[in-house]
Amino acid sequence: MTNVLLVIHLILCLGLIILVLIQRSEGGALSGLGGGGGGGGMSGLMTGRSTANLLTRATGLIAGGFMLTSLILSLLANAERNTTSILDTGTGAPAAVEQSAPAPEKSNEPGAPLAK
């Protein structure tokens, strides 16, 4: 279920990117550039008010679907998450360290043998 929804989400994402890129720029920061705006050669491809309305509505629908799949995917990820903490699963007390024979004492004299 999650994989199918993720594929649909990615398709909607690509569709949204494509629809935004083919829309004609209405001005803003790119309108001062040479070539008649940011659209350049695309201005003859998508002209007319009906095409603009179609692209605007399609962008809105795909954006709504993208937001819906984002919400559903986040809810599914939250449901599959493990809610227990590492601190809750501990044994309570650390394991006892076994003490072996005491360590040999070191002598300060350079040539002295080590005590056993």
Q: Residue 65 carries which side chain, given as an amino acid letter?
A: G
CA–CA gap between residue 67 and residue 75 (Å, rounded): 12
The tokens describing 65, both together, are: 């679907």
Q: pTM of the predicted model, to two decimals?
A: 0.54
The tokens describing 21, both together, are: 């890129």
Over residues 40-77, the pLDDT tens digits come to 555 555 556 677 788 889 999 999 999 999 999 999 99
Cβ burial 20-29 (10 Å sphere, 16+ → b, else e):
eeebebeeee
Is the CB of residue 59 less than 8 Å from the CB of residue 23? yes
Over residues 8-26, the pLDDT tens digits come to 999 999 999 999 999 877 6
The tokens describing 34, both together, are: 């040479």
